[in-house]
Amino acid sequence: MSKCLDALLERRRSVRQYTDEALSRETLESLIAAAIQAPSASNRQPWRFLVVCDAKVRGELADLVEAAAARVGEHVSKPFSAAYEDYRKYFVHFREAPAVIVPLYRDAEILGRMVGPTVAPQDRASIELMESRTGIVSTALAVENLLLKATELGLGTSMMTGPLVAEAALRERLDVKASWHILAFVAVGVPAETPNPTVRKEVAQVIRWVE
């Protein structure tokens, strides 16, 4: 691994405060160009990227998320109320970002089309799980490319899945077709903060050698 890549990986942070500086279409397209260099299963490239720069639309999306989060909050047990209120704040940090990128993914439909109705239920379930995760994993790889490219350009990003609490309403507002799924929201902008590095687990804590 090159020293440059090491430095880039270490420099990436989740940024939640941005300046008012707008991002050019060229800059945003360069992020997508980096994203689509990611590998994908069978080179299906099961991704699309919605880009939201209009402040009014971002506000509408954030309102939908806040409304859903409030509904869910009514059913949070009292011992968790304070923790939930703190947690839900992270769902709408994209409201003030100059741009929001919404990566979409599509399930793979390869092996599922090949096998007939006689396949064992257990194998059918495994195939469906595999093909669902294929789209998720492939598109997540593309998002990581996007985050690293943004870091290289001096931009701040924050990938968040919290907005998916309002997934149905977001699909309708963004006109997401039935065969596509929202992976996450990615806020992008010129950072107005420099977050400290977060503590990472040691390699020894997360690795297990199988023999």
pLDDT band (50, 70, 90) for residue 113: confident
Q: Model's pTM, two decimal places?
A: 0.93
Per-domain residue ranges of the chain: 3-206
| pLDDT score for 108 | 84
Mean pLDDT of 51-73: 97
Dig out the tokens for 69 from the structure. 């989060």
Mean pLDDT calculated for residue range 177-203: 95
For 49, residues 6+ apart whose C-beta sits below 8 A from its C-beta are 32, 35, 101, 102, 103, 104
Q: How far are the Cα atoms of 85, 108, 119, 209 from residue 158, in angstroms, in the given order?
A: 19, 27, 42, 32
Distance CA 185, CA 182 (A): 8
**Confidence label for 94 from pLDDT (cuts 50, 70 and 90):** very high
Given a contact cutoff of 8 angstroms between Cβ atoms, the answer to whether 174 and 50 are in contact is yes
Average pLDDT value for residue range 4-22: 93
d(CA 191, CA 98): 10
Which strand (E) or helix (H) includes residue 150? helix 121-152
Q: What is the mean pLDDT of the chain?
A: 95
Q: Tell me how far apart the alpha carbons of residues 155 and 21 are, in angstroms, rounded to a whole number.
A: 11
In this prediction, residues 40-65 reach a mean pLDDT of 96
Give the pLDDT score at 111: 87
* 146-186 confidence digits (pLDDT tens): 999 999 999 999 999 999 999 999 999 999 999 999 999 99
Q: Residue 38 — pLDDT band, cuts 50, 70, 90?
A: very high
**3-206 belongs to CATH 3.40.50.10490:** no
Residue 140, classified by CB atoms within 10 Å of its CB into exposed (0-12), middle (13-18) or buried (19+), is middle
